[in-house]
Amino acid sequence: MLKVESKYTKKYLFAILFFIIMSIICVTIFLTNINSGINEKVQEILLNEVISHRKSLEATISIQYQELEGISEYITSLNTRDMSQLINFTKAFVSKNGFDRIVVAFEDGIGYLSDGSSYDISTRGYYQDTMNGGARNSEPVDSVIDGERRMALSVPIYSQHGQVIGMVMGSYDVRAISEIEFSNLYNNKGYTYLIDYSGNFLINDQKLHNYQGNFYDYCQESNILSNQQLQQIKTDISNYVSGCVLTKGGKETRYLVYVPLESSEWVICYSVLVSDAFQDYQFIMKYETYLLGAVAMVLTVTVLYIFIVNKKERVLLKRADYDSLTGLYNRRKLTEEIKRYLKAQSEFGLAILDIDDFKKINDTYGHPIGDIILKEIGQILRDNLGEYLVGRLGGDEFVILIENVQIINIVIQKLELTCNQIAKIKIEEHPDIVVTCSCGLAVAPKDGETVAELYKAADSALYIAKSLGKNKLAKF
């Protein structure tokens, strides 16, 4: 009898042990897949963020080219070389756009700045290329005026007979533009830098290192990428393909995202520690440890814990659709909805609402006050535009998706009433704060048949609203 009991006990223990081992294997596979899914999701988010920034940067450059061409055409129409008159014109123009300065030069190669000074630019590559009849987007160079690193855009000035007689150049701080959209990503812990297709650093994030040579050489010297990874990056960039890879240097493991620009042979790179990129998923890592311990101790607790974790993950995945500050849809969810609307081939509107001078408010009163304003605006959008899909694009930009735009005047009226409501926001601690917003509206599929085209159209309308003096609404 004892032998029989011992036999069955052994079988039972073997079955339990086998079941526990299989459960551990299954749970391990499950957790591995979760980590893999998180890794893929993080890479997707990073890639989308940098691609979005590329589009924004290229849209900014395109708009600035248009501004310069407008100046060139105006100078042609004046049919004058009275530099005092031209300087006064460009001086007034600088205050209305993103240029630090505007330079006008004719055949003698003397550039006259919008601040009234002048210097010889005849040896500059952008001047020589532009005088040969082509618009030019220069690589970032150190300014001879103040030593700051800037990028120059230039277009020819034509005579009334169509001959190139001069050029108009506008310069701006490309570092400020390239970093602004990443400032809120992972608490600004990532590194942003700009390289050309050959790997030469054009703009180097000072947080990264003081290395001023070649990016590919740096990767080889520091051994953060394998030769295979490095070759893959070079191949991708040469074929205008974006990508995301893991780099390992010492104890640091980082994501490296590289996105080539369409308008020039530049590549935007963004690097962030895996631990920082995973910061929103740290709770999952903690629960994994609890889960493995529970499997080792009690199978029933393990099964129950798996159920609880799965339930929490479902809730958290749902939360992933929402902006943590305002409770509105986030950029990822907005993009999904826009794609769904486009796929349905229905007519709908997309409005981008941007808080006027929000950076000034943040700089003056601090980010906590800025967050209060963002929350207030989120609530106003929910209250006033509840029948539409509302989300926060990022920073101080909000998006409204309007499913039914047959009566466009009603839509515009609702948006204007919402903007008026935002203008009534009062901060108790700082009653002097005045909050206004500008809004740009585009309608699909007429104004765009893809997410990028629609965003660009709405952003262009927003730019028009801003140029009209802010606190305005404009339709593309």
Question: Where in the sequence numbering do the catalytic residues fall?
Answer: 396
CB 87 within 8 Å of CB 207? no
Q: Phi, psi at residue 180, to the nearest 5°?
A: -60, -40
What Cα–Cα distance (Å) separates residue 83 from each residue in 117, 118, 167, 413?
11, 11, 13, 46
Helices 83-94/2-78 angle, 10° precision: 150
**Residue 395, number of CB atoms within 10 A of its CB:** 17
**Residue 26, number of CB atoms within 10 A of its CB:** 12
* Sign for the pseudo-dihedral over CA of 323, 326, 329, 331: negative
Q: What is the C-alpha to C-alpha distance for residues 145 and 461, in angstroms, rounded to an integer?
A: 35
Cβ-Cβ contacts under 8 Å for 210 (sequence gap 6 or more): 204
Work out whether strand 252-260 and strand 243-249 pair parallel, antiparallel, or are unpaired. antiparallel
Work out whether strand 397-402 and strand 136-137 pair parallel, antiparallel, or are unpaired. unpaired
Kindly report whether the peptide bond that precedes residue 260 is cis, defined as omega within 30 degrees of 0: no
